[in-house]
Structure 1
Amino acid sequence: MEHILHILDWFLYILFAVNVLYLLVYSLASLRRCKPFASAPAKKHKCFAILIAAYREDAVILPTVHACLAQDYPDEKYDVVVISDHMQPRTNAALSSLPIKLLQVDFEKSTNTKSLKAALEYLDKDNYDIALVIDADNIIAPSYLSEVNNAFAVAGVRVVQTHRIAKNLNTDMAYLDAVSEEINNSIFRLGHANLGMSAALIGSGMAFEYPLFYDAMMSNTSVGGFDRVLEMKLLYKGVHFHYLPDTLVKDEKIQKANNFYQQRRRWLSAQYYSFFEFANHLLPAIRDGKWDFCDKLYQQISFSRVLLLGFVFIIALAYSLCAPSLACKWWGIFILLLLALALAIPRRYWQWRLLRAVCWVPCSFLLMLLNLFRLKEANKRFIHTEHGVD
């Protein structure tokens, strides 16, 4: 019996250690600033379709649209397309008065996938070079389109992910969410880009060659997390995702624990759904050297950072109380995990507020743990995150 427990201990240790070392490697890689690959202004202005799926987003949609219309970019070279789903008549009236394309839909079971596909069917495919997807709560600077256009002028660039940052830091939960997003940016985008890997997509602030996006989306049937399925499809085709760390898009951060619970449930469901959807492609991908796809598939099955922190800490603490001789190696990877996360946090977030925000981590762990038991139902319906800063 003792021998079996010893084997189980090492099995769990290796499982968690691989997760920790993965984060540490890319966190260290993010410490070097990646070189901008678009150093000169583009000679040609490509045509953009800015796609905004707006489900019950009355509180935030108008500032987002106004920011899109205020671009330092030729007006005739981009269209703002709002897909209005279950929004108030007064909001639709206000949108109708603006120089945008407004598509009103009324799905019985709404999803971002359905909204974006409706927009693609509505638009003339031949009129656009680039599809830019942003969330209804996002704010972009006037230079945003020009910077993305410069990136697409570089040979071989077909997909770019811009740098999503916090729009609000009004609560400790929002501050923690902002820090979490920047850790993701450091590890899964900047760190990956520095090592020549594809940056992770994030659901908004991402731009694609229009035909590429059209083909991938029209065959997408995901309920939540359309971006997960989208990136798996494109990575398997060998498409590389570039990262623009200096091109910013402001995104509203979660302010309350309940919204955190709902949002992370959608994210976890999408993560595991995409893994099982594409797991059968792993061996062909290894055979063909599609390492970006393999890397992304591993991300889908790996532990989220909050769960990883909680599980490693609990196991290390339990061994310290019951079997001290086995605890040292667990405390070792716990320290390495803390180091990986600390290195990935930008300097501007190292404030006293960070200590208060960290106090929400145990609560976040419990909420994520509960989410593990509710993933099946989460993929059957669209879970909407309410927006609007209190």
Structure 2
Amino acid sequence: MYLLALLGDIVLYTIGLYLLLNCCYLLFFSLAGHKSIRPLQVTVKKNRRFCVLIPAYRENEVVLETSKAALKHQYNGNFEVYVIADGLLPETVATLRGSDVQVIEVAFERSTKGKALAAALAQIPANRFDIAAILDVDNIMGPGFLQEVNKAFGAGYRVVQAHRTAKNMDSSFAFLDACNEEINNHIYRKGHFAIGMSSALIGSGMAFGFTYLKELLKGIGETVGEDKELDFRIVRDQEKICYLDQVYVFDEKIENAKVFTQQRTRWIAAQVEFLKKYAGEGITQLVRHGNVEFFNKVVQAFLVPRVLLIGVLVLFFLSSLMLPFGPPPVFWAVLLLMLSAALLIALPARFYKSRQLGKALFQLPYALFCMVKAVFQIKKTKTSFLSTPHKVTAVSADANL
């Protein structure tokens, strides 16, 4: 009995220490996100040439609307909109080509966003553009997006991430997803950039030096997390990723549990993939090269997804009320308070003014169930793209910032 209790203590205290580190990390960067970011001090000397890339995987209706919106974007310089057509209907391609949109058709046995981008860039002359901006098929660029990105490049950055935010919050699940997005923005982008570290990429609303992006995409492979792969490659080069907190790209939020589960399955699979791939290199980069940024990306891959973390901490708290070994209930209660503080601090004030917040919180148990389900479905990503389906959605009044 003594040995069993001792073993239980070792296991539970080890798990407790790991989860404590999770909560400390989130709370630290949540607090850091309230540090003001100094505006870019640069005079715009030239308007760089932009290539706006929109990968479209079987999204016929949505791509027609978003590409049309992209063409209307106001920019002082020259830009062209490219749709990377993967599985689009012939009539959709014909309609796009009938407008000012450039179309590059691609086809793969197994589609991924990274392969589509690499294939498209291989067909565009390297001297035609200075900057490549990447949008998801449902994204709408907010006012001044290209102009502010151009300004950031004038300040010396080669990689820029804008503030992606919800364009729809018309259901409880969409509102919950929008909250999650803003918490991510606050912790992993604003919080890091505010203390001088690189922002994390988010997959869209991002821009790269055109030739640099071509280099980054070499050998991208079939990863389902091309943005995370780019993250690791960029910090390995010790390039700083700029975050433009006041420059928006509007993104469609998920409105139902099925799509939520599918998307999270892809995200968790990517996290596991990069944890396995880069854990060892993270130690090497830190010890041999002093590359704290690379090590930090590995630490992020070790973190438990937040919705799962809430469920895990509640489970251990309840278990501690009955188990005679392991950390006491107060320990798990403190971790729950730390996590709650981190999330509440990171959520923008405007969300607290919405009546939907209470309804969205009632969706958390269901979201937790979906996350657990996603964990057991990650093998599906090896045989299927698991793209997130979209619909034509206007930017809602709630998205006004």
User: Shorter-chain TM-score: what band?
Assistant: over 0.9
C-alpha distance in structure 2 between counterparts of 1:4 and 1:179, whole Å: 39
Identity %: 36
Q: Counterparts of 1:56-135 in structure 2 under 5 Å?
A: 56-74=58-76, 77-135=78-136
Paired AA for residue 295 in structure 1: N
Deviations 1:254-302 (CA, angstroms, capped at 9, x unpaired):
0110000000000111111122122231232112111111101111121
* SS at 1:125 equivalent: coil
Q: Distance in 2 between matches of 1:175 and 1:322?
A: 37
1:99-145 C-alpha deviation (Å, 9 max, x unpaired):
12111223232211221111111100121111111101000134211
Post-superposition CA distance 1:322-353 (Å, at most 9, x none): 45981111111101100100000001111231
User: Does the 8 Å CA contact 1:36/1:244 hold for their aligned counterparts?
Assistant: no
Quote the Cα distance in structure 1 between the aligned partners of 2:7 and 2:338.
Answer: 27
Give the CA deviation at 1:363. Answer: 1.2
Q: 1:389, 1:330 → 2: CA distance?
A: 44
Partner of 2:361: 358
Contact in 2 for aligned 1:42/1:153 (Cα 8 Å):
yes
Q: 2 CA distance for matches of 1:209 and 1:219?
A: 18
CA contact (8 A) 1:59 1:387 kept: no
**CA contact 2:159–2:241 (8 Å) conserved in 1:** yes
Instruction: For 2:316 and 2:275, locate their aligned partners in 1 and report how far apart those are by CA, in whole Å.
Output: 26
Q: 2: distance between equivalents of 1:304 and 1:25?
A: 17
The alpha carbon displacement at 1:375 in A equals: 1.8
Query: What is the CA distance between 1:71 and its match in structure 2?
Result: 2.5
CA contact (8 A) 1:235 1:293 kept: yes
CA–CA distance in 1 between the matches of 2:323 and 2:269?
35
In the alignment, structure 1 residue 230 sits paired with structure 2 residue 230: yes
Q: Which letter maps to 2:241?
A: F
Stretches of 4+ aligned residues off by more than 6 angstroms:
none
Q: Which AA in structure 2 matches 1:130?
A: I
Q: Distance in 2 between matches of 1:101 and 1:281?
A: 40
Give CA deviations for 1:189-239 in whole Å, capped at 9, x if unaligned.
000011111110000001111121101102211331111111111111111
Post-superposition offset of 1:182: 0.1
Distance 1:23 1:114 in 2: 32
Displacement after TM superposition at 1:6 (Å): 1.5
| Aligned position for 1:177 | 177
Mark the runs of 5 or more structure 1 residues left unpaired by the alignment: none
Q: Is the 8 A contact 2:48 2:130 kept in 1?
A: yes
Which deviates more, 218-227 or 157-166?
218-227
Within 2, Cα distance between the matches of 1:329 and 1:209? 47
1:309 has 2:300 as partner: no
Structure 2 runs not aligned, ≥5 long:
394-401
The answer as to whether partners of 2:159 and 2:207 remain within 8 angstroms in 1 is yes
SS in 2 for 1:276: helix
Structure 2 counterpart of 1:331: 333
Tell me how large the CA RMSD over aligned residues is: 1.6
SS of the residue 2:389 aligns to: coil
For 1:46 and 1:113, how far apart are their aligned partners in 2?
Answer: 24
Any idea what SS the aligned residue of 2:386 has? coil
Change (3 A) 1:149 1:112: same
How far apart are residue 389 of structure 1 and its match? 5.3
TM-score normalized by structure 1? 0.95
Match of 1:47 among 33, 46, 49: 49
Partner of 1:202: 202
How many residues align structurally? 387
Match of 2:155 in 1: 154
Change in Cα spacing, 1:59 to 1:33, as seen in structure 2 (3 Å) is: farther
Indicate if the aligned counterparts of 1:86 and 1:106 stay in contact, CA closer than 8 A. yes
Q: Distance in 1 between matches of 2:301 and 2:380?
A: 18
Equivalent-residue separation in structure 2 for 1:282 and 1:30 (angstroms): 24
User: What is the letter of the counterpart of residue 167 of structure 2?
Assistant: K
- In structure 2, the residue matched to 1:377 is 380
Q: Any idea what SS the aligned residue of 1:218 has?
A: coil
Q: CA deviation at 1:57?
A: 1.2
Q: Quick check: 1:212 aligned with 2:217?
A: no
Per-residue deviation, residues 327-384 of structure 1 (Å, max 9, x unmatched): 1111111011001000000011112311110111111111111222222332343111
Q: Does 1:252 align with 2:258?
A: no
Instruction: Tell me how far apart the structure 1 counterparts of residues 203 and 185 of structure 2 sit (CA, whole Å).
Output: 13
- Check the 8 A contact 1:28/1:343 in 2, yes or no: yes
Check the 8 A contact 2:42/2:155 in 1, yes or no: no
C-alpha separation between the residues in 1 aligned to 2:268 and 2:314?
A: 21
Structure-2 separation of matches of 1:209 and 1:222: 23
Q: Give distance in 1, aligned partners of 2:231 and 2:37.
A: 22
The residue type equivalent to 2:186 in the other structure is S
- 2: CA distance between counterparts of 1:358 and 1:111? 33
C-alpha contact 2:51 2:80 (8 A) present in aligned 1: yes
Cα distance, 1:63 vs. partner?
2.4
Partner of 2:221: 221
- Amino acid of the structure 2 residue aligned with 1:34: I
Amino acid in structure 1 at the alignment position of 2:62: V
Give the distance between the partners of 1:386 and 1:78, measured in 2 at CA. 27
**Amino acid across the alignment from 1:357:** A
